[in-house]
A and B are shown apart, each in its own frame.
Chain A
Amino acid sequence: MVADPVPLQLAAELFPNGISRYAIGGLFVGLGAAVIYVGTGISAGASTFLESTLSYVSSQSRFQQYVASRDWRLVFTLGIILGAAVYAVVYQGGAWTTDVAWWRLLLGGLFVGVGTRVGKGCTSGHGVCGVGSASKTSLAGVLAFLLVAILTAQVVAALGVTP
């Protein structure tokens, strides 16, 4: 048997599922944000939806600053859900559900909810739009959540929590 050239072996190790799904998907994510930006000048992030939607049901002063944008943020999120549903129908062939334990999702979600709001953005706001803007703030934010997330995931895995 002839061994693959070194670059191919390395690629198979680092990218066991190939890179096309990630690269193509990433281009679509960027394109979605770009379409909104070209028409409106808005660089949209996904996490502000949490606060803006809470303004419908809460009179806390913190949420009121998002009243003006809450309707289009709701539409943006509905679009995200529908777009993913199109993927599921066309490529996935039915519903897919996670095996990650419910308490990890709930507790993780809680930290995500607090953290993205304190930190002014998430993987789309800082990671895609902020990095695309070459914003030093966003680069610092991405570095912070990436390093801590890697550390957290490694610790959780080392503790034997699966999945």
Chain B
Amino acid sequence: MATSTDRHPLFIPLVLVGGLIFGFGLGYSHMARPEVVLNFLQFEDFGLLFVMFGGAAVTGIVFFVMPRVLDRAPLTGDPFERRLKSFDRNVLIGGAIFGVGWGLSGICPGAAYASLGIGNVTILWALAGMFIGAYLQGWWRSRATDGVDPSPTGAD
């Protein structure tokens, strides 16, 4: 992965444009509204399926085509790979925990950022929760991997 020193000058602008399109899509699809997601989970409106699988269809085509067209990504020199993460128990456990949160609030990370963009300041509650959750998880994992010393090593 490119570090900030050897990065192509168009790297950050491209990420911004990609984020813009991504966020516009979340706004346009109404996924930035928790109510719409909750309606899906209660079987009242199945539109969300079109969002997720519509998005996956586009990325699927691009993930398939790009490695056959170019050897390396023009802005990073990285090879075009599929998004493959190793499977273990955590995928199911984490997925289930995420599911509880998603079902309770109707909000997932990308949609929460987009929700802020559509003027939904109330969503800051969810964003605060996400950062607290991610911190707790990181704190717990840091302790697990830092060794047996139970005393915190960081000054935070």
> Judging by beta carbons under 8 Å apart, are A34 and B58 in contact?
yes
Chain A residues near B118 (CB-CB < 8 A): 84-85, 87-88, 92, 95-96
Alpha-carbon separation in the docked complex, A123 to B98 (Å): 10
Alpha-carbon separation in the docked complex, A79 to B19 (Å): 4
Closest chain A CB from B41 CB (angstroms)? 4
> Judging by beta carbons under 8 Å apart, are B90 and A119 in contact?
yes
- Decide if B151 is an interface residue (CB 8 Å cutoff): no
> Judging by beta carbons under 8 Å apart, are A80 and B19 in contact?
yes
Alpha-carbon separation in the docked complex, A61 to B100 (Å): 27
Write out, one digit per residue, whether chain A residues 129-150 have a CB within 8 A of any chain B CB (1) or not (0).
1111111111011111111111
Chain A residues near B116 (CB-CB < 8 A): 81, 84
> Judging by beta carbons under 8 Å apart, are B80 and A32 in contact?
no
Chain B residues near A153 (CB-CB < 8 A): 38, 41-42, 103-104, 106
Point out residues on B near A: beta carbons under 8 Å: 1-4, 10-12, 14-35, 38, 41-60, 62-63, 66, 72-76, 78-87, 90-123, 125-139, 141-142, 145-146, 153-156
Point out residues on A near B: beta carbons under 8 Å: 14-19, 21-44, 46-47, 49-51, 53-54, 57-63, 68-69, 71-72, 75-88, 91-92, 94-100, 102-138, 140-157, 163
Could you list 9 A-B pairs, sorted by A, with CB under 8 Å? A62-B141, A84-B26, A110-B130, A113-B129, A113-B135, A124-B108, A126-B95, A138-B85, A148-B103
